[in-house]
Structure 1
Amino acid sequence: MHIQIAGKLTGRITKWIVLAAVIVVTMLLAPLAGKLTSVQNNEAESWLPESAESTQAIKELEAFQDPNDLVTTIVYYKESGLTEEDLAEIESHGPEIAEIEGVSNVITPQTAEEQGIPAPYVSEDGQVAKLDFTINRGDELWEDMPGVRDDVSELASIDGVEVYVAGAGGTTADQAAAFAGMDGRLLLITLCAVILILLVSYRSPVLWALPIFCAVVSLGIAMGLLYLLAKYADMTINGQTQFIMTVLVIGAGTDYALLLVARYREELRRHEDRHEAMAFALHRAAPAIFASASTVVVGLLCLMFAELNSTAGLGPANAVAVAVTFVVMVTLLPALLVICGRWVFWPFIPRFGSDEPTESGFWARTGNRIAPRPRVVWIFTTIALLIVALGALRLDTSGIPNDETYVAGQEVESVDGNAILVEHGLVDASSPVQVVANTDQAEAVVESMAGIEGIQEPAIVAEEDGTSLILANLTADPLDQASIEAVHEVRDAVHSVEGADALVGGWTAVTIDVEEASARDNKVVIPIMLLAVMLILMGLLRALASPLILIGTVILSFAAALGISGVVFDLVFDRPNTDPGFPLYAFVFLVALGIDYNIFLMTRVREETVGNGTRRGSLIALASTGGVITAAGIVLAATFGALATMPLTFALQIGTTIALGVLLDTMIVRSVLVTAINLDLGGKIWWPSALDRKPPVVPPKDPEREQVSEAASV
C-alpha cells in the first residue's frame, strides 16, 4: 500500500498534478503571510497564566486605567549640573509633549512639586531631572512607540544635555524597534546560511534551489494558515512564536530535503528510470521523515500543558508550521526532482550502475575505528559529556535583568536612561507596585506595606465600586533583585490583611509570576514530552530497548549543551542570566530536533539489520547516512545560530544553545555514542522484538521493488 502511494505521487502524470495542487494552495495562502504580524498579541496578559496573581490584578486594574496606557519617562542628564535655564526649558517641554497624539498626564518637576508628589523629579546632585507622561494609542501603541520616541527626543532636546526616553514607554519603543523588520532580516540571514551549506554539501550550482524553494513555500503556506487560525480560531501568535517559526521551518524543511535527496541519489544509481528511483527513495525515506516531523509536532504540542501562556501558545502554531513543512517536502520536492531529471545534480550526476561513494567515505572509516572497542568508546564518550554538563551550574535562570535584555555592546536608550535614574537616586514611576484591594480594608493594606525596604511610601490613588488602587514606587530597577524581593514582601504583607482580597500587580509582579510558572512547566512538560517521544520511537522501531537508549543519549546531549552554554554565556557573552523559560524551550527544541538524527540513523539500521544483522547493519547505516545527517545538523545549527544575530539576549542564548546541542547530536551522540552502543549490544537493542535473533535471510527477490516499479510507471 505505502509502496504504491509512493510510486503514484511521483509518476509520469501525477507529478504534474502534485505540482499544480501545491501551486494552487500557495497562491491562496501565501498572500496572507504578510498579515500575520497584524494578528500578533504581545500584551503581558496574553503571556501570563490565567491563575497568576498578576493576571488577576491586570483584570481588576482595568477599572482604574486603560490597559493601553503606557507611562513614559524623559531623563535629562548633565554631568556639570542642570542650570536654572535648563530646568526652565524642561518645564517648557511639558505643554509641547502634551500636544502629541494620545499623550496625557504630563508631570514636570514643577507640576510634581505643585501636586505634592513625594517622589523627587530632580536629583540631589542636580545632574538629573525627569519628566513623566502617559501615552495611549490603543492597539497601535506597539507599532507607534518608536516614532513617538523620536518625536519626543526632538522636542526634549537641550544643548549640552543628554536626553533619554526611558520608563515603560521607552522600553516598549526599544523592543518594537528591535523587532521591526526582524522577521525579514532573520529569513534572509537564515536562507543565505542554508544556501551556502547546501552548495558545499551538494557541490551543485543548481540542486540547492529546489530545497530552498520548497522551504520558502512551506513558510508562506504555514504563515498564511496561521493568520487564518489567529484571526478566526483565537490561536495566540506573538513575536517570539513568529521568529522561532521562521528558523524552524527553514531548518527542519531543509533537513527533510537532505534526507530525501540523499536517498534519491542512492536509488538513481540502482534504477535507470528516475520515476522508479524516486518511488523507492520516497518509500524508504518518508517513514523516517514522518517520524521526525511527528516527533517535533508532538513535542511542540506538549507545550500546551504549560501554564505560561507564552509557552503554551508557542506549541500549536509551530506544530502547524512543521506539519505543513512535512507535507510540502514529501509532495512538492519529489515532484520537482523528477520533473527536473538527473541533470539537476550537475556536475556530479549519479549515473545508473555507478558505485555508491559512501561505502568508503569518512563515516565508513569512522565506524570501522569504533568497531574494535565499542564499549570503551561509548563509556568514555558518556563520561566526557557528563563532565561537560557540569558547566550548566553556571546558568542563572532567575530572569534577565533589564540592563542585560540586549546583547553586550548594544547601546539601548531606555536601558541607559533607567540606569541613570537609579544611579542618581530617582525612581522609575512608570513601573510601580500596583495593589488592588477592597476599599473597606484599603487603609489596613497601606499600613501593612509601610516600612518595606525597596518601595517608597504607598498611597491610595483611586477608588471604584468598592475597590481601591494603591501604588508604591520602587527604589530600584523593576527587574533588579532588590525590587523582586520587595514585591515578595509586599505580597506577604497585603495577603495577611483579612478581608482585603488584595492582589499585587505591576511589571515586577509579572516577572515573579512568569518565573514561578516556568518552574512549574519545567517539572510538568518535560516528562510528558519524554513519554510522547518514547512512544513514537517505540512505534517506529518496534522495540523498547533502542528507544530507551536513544532517549537517554538525547538527554545527555541536552545536559552537555546546557553545560557548554553556561560557560559561553558567562565568559564569552557576559550574559550569565537567562529567561525562566529558557531551559524548557531549549529542551523542547533539542529533544524534538536532536532525536531526528537518531531517527534517520536508526531507521536505516533497522532496514539493514534484516539482511546484515545489527552490527554490520549499524556500520552500513552510519556510512550511508553519515554525510547527509552531518549536513542536516550543520544546516539546523546554522538556522538557529542565525538567532544570535538578533540584538536580544534571549534570542542569542536560545539560538546558541540549540546550535551547540544539534552539533553535539550530529557529530558525537549520533555518530559515536549511538553507533558504539549498537555495536556493543548488537541484536539486544531490538528487545523485545525478534529482529536479529536468527541468522539473516536474504530473499531471492524483493517483491516490494516490483510493486514500486509498477507504481512508478503510472
Structure 2
Amino acid sequence: MLRKLTSLPSGRVAKWVVLAFWVVLLVPAVMLAGKLGDVEENDSSAWLPSNAESTKVVERVEKFGLADTVPAIVVYDRADGVTDADMAKATADAKAFQNIQNVVGDPQGPVKSQDGKAVQTVVQVQKDKSGWDGLGKVVDAMTDVGEKNTDGLGFHVTGPAGQASDSIKAFSGGGSLTTITALVVVVILLLTYRSPWLPLVSLVTVGGALITSEAVIYLLAKHADLVVNAQTSFTLTVLVFGAATDYALLLISRYREELRRHEDRHEAMAEALHRSSPAIIASAATVAISLMLLMLATLNSTQGLGPACAVGVLVGLLAMVTLMPALLVICGRWVFWPVKPAYGSKASAKEGIWTKVGTAVSGKPRLVWIGTALALGVMCLGMFNLKADGLANKDQFTNKPQTAVGEEIQAEHFPAGSGDPIYVVTKAASAQQVSTALADVRGIAGVSPPIVEGEDAILLGELEDNPSSDAAMRTVEQARDTVHRIDGADAQVGGNAAVIRDTQEAAARDSRVIIPIVLVVVFLILAALLRAVVAPLLLMGTVVLSFGAALGVSSLVFEHVFGFAGEEASFPLLSFVFLVALGIDYNIFLVTRVREIAPLQGTRPAALKGLSATGSVITSAGLVLAGTFAAMASLPLVFAAELGFAVAFGVLLDTLVVRSVLVTALTLDVGRWMWWPSNLFRQQEPSGPVAVEPERETARA
C-alpha cells in the first residue's frame, strides 16, 4: 500500500496532475500568506494564559479605560541643565502630541528632574487592531515632533510604546531573513551537488511549502483562535527552509542512487520514494508531534508557536513527497548536470571521509563512545551558567536602539519605573486600606489616589526600579503578597512588570511539564519505527546529552563572547524541543538505513555501511539546518540570536559528533542487542573483522 502511495507523484501522468494541483493551491495561498501579519498578537499581555493574575487585571481595568492604552515616556536631557526654552519646547510638544492619532488623554508633564538635567512627559497611546504597527506609527509621529528645533537638547521616546516601536524595526527584517535563509540553502546545495538546477528545484518547492504554511496558519489564527506573533513568523521561515530542505536532500540522494539502477526515471523515483519515505515521514512526524506538544504550554505565545511550526513541517513534508518528486521526474536526469547519474554507472568507489571515520571508530568502539560521552558531559556543565529568567527591555536587542538609550537617561534622572506603574485593582470599599499597605512595600516610590468605577477601584503604584528588572519582579511579588492578605479586598496586581513576572512563571512551568512528555513521546515514536526498545533508549540518551552540551556551550558563549545579559524564560524549552526533535531526525536517517542493511549483513557491518551511505547527505542536511537557524542572527534581537546559535551549534554537534561517532560506536559495541526484543535481535552477527564496503555495493533489503 505504501509503495503504491509513494509512487503516485512519479507517475507518467500523475506528475503533471501533482504539479497542476500545487499551482492551483498556491494562487489563493499567496494572497492569504500576505495577511499573516494582520493576525499577529504582539502585545506581551496577549501571550499570557487567561488564569494569570496580570491577565485578570487587564480584564478588570477595561471599565477604567486603561486596558487598551500603552504609555510612551518622552525624555529630554541636556548635560549642562535644562533651560527655560527647553521647558517651553517640552510643553509645546506635549500639546502637539495630543493631535496625533491614537494619543488619548492629557499628557503627564512635562516634569523636570531634581538634578535639573532632564525632563519627562508621559503620553498614553491607544492600542488599535494594527497592534505594534499602530504603536510604531504613533512613536514615529511623536519623534517627528520632538526632534524639531532641539538645539542640542536630547530627545528619546521610551517606555512600552518605545519598546514596541523598536521591536517593529527589529522584526521588519523578516524579508531579509527569508533572503539570507534562501541563499544559505542555495550555497550549501550547490556545494553538495555541484549542479545549478537542483538548488532551484529545491528552492521552488520549499518556497511553495512556506507560502502554503503561512496561508494555513493565517486561517487558523483568523478562525480557530491560534495565537501567532512576529516570533512565530521568523521561526516558521527558518524551520520550513531547514527541515524541508533536509527531506529534499535525503530524497535526492536516494533518487540519484536509483537512477543508476533503473533506466526509467519514473521507476527510479518510485523506488527512491519507497525507500526514503519511511525515514522522511518518521522524521517529520517526530518533529511535528514534538512541536504539537507545545500546545500543553500555559504561555500563549509558546502554545501558538507549536501548532504553527508543526503545520510548517507537515506542509514541508507534503511538498517534498509530492511536488519535489514530480518536478525532478519532469526535469529528467539533466537536472543533475554536469554530473548526471547514468543508468548502469557505478558510484565512486573512492573511500570517503565517513568511511574513514567508521573504520577509525570500529577499532575500539567502547573506548570511543565512553570518551565522547564524557566530553559531551563536560560541555553540559556550562548549563549551570544559564540565566533564563528573562531579559530587561534594554537587553533585548543586539544593538542599542533609541528606546534603550532613553531608558538609561530616564533611570539616571528619574525613578526608573516612573510612567510605567503597576496596577492594583481592588474593591472600592478596601481602596484606602490597600493604598496604605501598597505604599509600605519596598520598591514602591508612590501610590496614586484611587480611581473608583462601580464596585472596583484602581491604584497606580510607581516603581523605583525599571519595570523589567529583577528588582521590579521582587516588588511585584511583595506587592501581591501584601494586598492578597487584606480580607475582602479581592486585590490583584497587574501592569507591565506583573506581565513579565507572570511570563517567567508560566515559562518555567511549561518547561517542567512539557520536556518530560516530549521525551516519552519521541521514545514511543522511535520504538514503533525501529520495533525495538534498546535502540530508542540509546538514541534518546545521545540526543539529550547533545542538547545539554549545546546548551552548556551556548550559555558560556552568550555571556563571554557575545556579552548578552541572559536568556528569555522560554529559551530552554524551545531550544530543547527544536534540538531534540531535529536531532532525532539525523539518528532516524542513519539508523533506518542500518536496520535496512542489518538483516542481510548483520548489525555491526550495517552500522559502518549505514554511516558510509548516509554520511554525506546527513552532513549536508545538518549544514543546511544549522545555516538556516544561524540566519536568525540577522535580526537584531537577542532571543533570535541565542535561539539561532544554540540550535545551529547543537545541530552541527549532533551531525558531526553524536550521530557519526557516538551512535556508530554504540551500535558497534551493542551489536544485535540494539534491536531487542524484535526478531532482528535474534540474528547472529557474522564472524570475522568488521569492514566497510564501498557505498556503491550497499545492499537493498
Structure 1 Cα separation of the partners of residues 362 and 101 of structure 2: 73
- Asked whether the equivalents of residues 400 and 579 of structure 1 are also in contact (C-alpha less than 8 Å), the reply is yes
2:593 to 600, 604, 618: 604
Aligned residue among 439, 445, 451 for 1:450: 439
1:123-522 matches, within 5 Å, as 123-157=113-147, 158-180=150-172, 182-357=173-348, 360-407=351-398, 410-522=399-511
SS in 1 for 2:112: coil
Matched, 1:567 2:559: no
Q: Distance in 1 between matches of 2:463 and 2:230?
A: 29
**Given the superposition, is the C-alpha separation of residues 666 and 358 from structure 1 closer, same or farther in structure 2, using an over 3 Å criterion?**
farther
Q: Distance in 2 between matches of 1:583 and 1:459?
A: 39
Matched-pair contact (CA < 8 Å) for 1:609–1:692: no
| Distance in 2 between residues matched to 1:512 and 1:50, nearest whole Å | 15
The Cα shift of 1:323 comes to: 0.8
Give the superposition deviation at 1:295. 0.4
| CA distance in structure 2 between the aligned counterparts of 1:275 and 1:669, rounded to whole angstroms | 36
Cα displacement (A) at 1:453: 2.0
Aligned equivalents of 2:91, 2:206: Cα separation in 1: 56
CA–CA separation in structure 1 for the residues paired with 2:130 and 2:2:
51
- In structure 2, distance between residues paired with 1:358 and 1:122: 80
Question: What is the identity percentage for the equivalent residue pairs of Structure 1 and Structure 2?
Answer: 45
Identify the residue that residue 653 of structure 1 maps to in structure 2.
Answer: 642
Return the offset for 1:148. 2.3
**Comparing 271-280 with 297-306, which one deviates more in the overlay?**
271-280
Single out whichever of 377-386 and 316-325 deviates more from structure 2: 316-325
Q: Distance in 1 between matches of 2:392 and 2:281?
A: 41
Kindly provide the CA deviation profile for residues 298-345 of structure 1, in whole angstroms up to 9, marking residues without a partner as x. 001110111111111111111112111101100011111111111111
Name the CA distance, whole Å, in 1 between partners of 2:409 and 2:317. 51
Structure 2 vs 1, CA of residues 31 and 589 (structure 1 numbering), >3 Å: closer, same or farther? Answer: same
Name the residue aligned to 2:694. Answer: none
Q: What corresponds to 2:693 in structure 1?
A: none
Change (3 A) 1:358 1:100: farther
Q: TM-score, normalised by structure 1?
A: 0.94
CA distance in 2, matches of 1:56, 1:92: 38
Equivalence for 2:102: 102
The question of whether the paired residues in 1 share the 8 Å contact of 2:128 and 2:134 is answered with: no
Cα drift, residue 227 of structure 1: 1.4
Q: Within the alignment, does 1:89 sit opposite 2:89 as a pair?
A: yes
Q: Does 1:589 align with 2:578?
A: yes
- 1:17-56 → structure 2 map (5 Å cutoff): 17-56=17-56
Q: Given residue 353 of structure 2, which amino acid in structure 1 is its aligned partner?
A: F
Q: Deviations over 1:377-403 (max 9, x none)?
A: 000000000001111111101111222
Say which is worse superposed, 419-428 or 347-356, in terms of deviation. Answer: 419-428
Aligned residue for 1:712? none
Give the Cα–Cα distance (whole angstroms) in 1 for the partners of residues 47 and 491 of structure 2: 22
- Superposition deviation, residue 141 in structure 1: 4.6
**Are 2:38 and 2:130, in contact at CA under 8 Å, matched by a contact in 1?**
no
Distance 1:457 1:328, change over 3 A: same
CA distance in 2, matches of 1:146, 1:139: 13
After superposition, give the CA deviation of every residue in 1:592-623 in whole Å (9 maximum; x if it has no partner). 11100000000000001011100000111000
Instruction: Tell me the distance in 1 between the aligned counterparts of 2:372 and 2:478.
Output: 48
Give the letter aligned to residue 430 of structure 1: G
Partner of 1:115: none
Q: Deviations over 1:235-262 (max 9, x none)?
A: 2221111110011001100000000000
How far does residue 183 in structure 1 lie from its aligned partner after superposition? 2.2
Moved more, 511-520 or 84-93: 84-93
User: Could you tell me whether the CA contact under 8 Å between 1:90 and 1:108 is conserved in 2?
Assistant: no
Matches of 1:349 and 1:617, distance apart in 2: 28
Alignment of 1:551 with 2:540, yes or no, is yes
Q: CA RMSD in A?
A: 1.6
Which amino acid in structure 2 is aligned with residue 123 of structure 1?
S
- Matched residue SS, 1:76: strand
Higher deviation after alignment, 424-433 or 675-684 = 424-433
Q: Is the 8 A contact 1:167 1:428 kept in 2?
A: no
In 2, Cα distance between the equivalents of 1:154 and 1:336? 52
When the two structures are superposed, what TM-score results if normalisation uses the length of structure 2? 0.95
Deviation sequence 1:125-171 (CA, Å, 0-9, x none): 21111111112252135213333223212322321101001112111
Deviation at 1:428, TM superposition (A): 4.0
How far, CA to CA, are the matches of 1:25 and 1:141 in structure 2? 30
- Please say if residues 444 and 475 of structure 2, whose CA atoms lie closer than 8 Å, have aligned partners that are also in contact: yes
- Measure how far apart 1:571 and its partner are: 0.7
Q: Report the counterpart of residue 113 of structure 1 in structure 2.
A: none
SS of structure 2 residue aligned to 1:504: strand
Q: Is the 8 A contact 2:62 2:68 kept in 1?
A: no
Instruction: Give, in angstroms, the shift of residue 427 of structure 1.
Output: 4.2
8 Å Cα contact 2:395-2:565 kept in structure 1: no
SS at structure 1 position matched to 2:267: helix
Name the CA distance, whole Å, in 2 between partners of 1:108 and 1:128. 15
* Structure 2 CA distance for partners of 1:401 and 1:130, relative to 1, 3 Å: same
Letter in 1 for 2:13: I
Deviation, structure 1 residue 460 = 3.2
How far, CA to CA, are the matches of 2:518 and 2:646 in structure 1? 19
Contact 1:611/1:696 (8 A) holds in 2: no
Check conservation: 2:72, 2:161, Cα contact below 8 A.
Answer: yes
| Distance (Å, rounded) in 1 between the aligned partners of 2:415 and 2:502 | 26
What is the CA–CA distance in structure 2 between the aligned matches of 1:160 and 1:108, rounded to whole Å? 24
Instruction: After TM superposition, list the pairs within 5 Å mapping 1:670-685 onto structure 2.
Output: 670-685=659-674
How many angstroms apart in 2 are the aligned matches of 1:481 and 1:9? Answer: 56
Letter in 1 for 2:125: I
Deviations 1:565-602 (A, max 9, x none): 01110011111410111000000000111100000000
Q: Return the offset for 1:87.
A: 1.3
Structure 1 CA distance for aligned equivalents of residues 4 and 75 of structure 2: 71
In the alignment, does 2:58 pair up with 1:58? yes
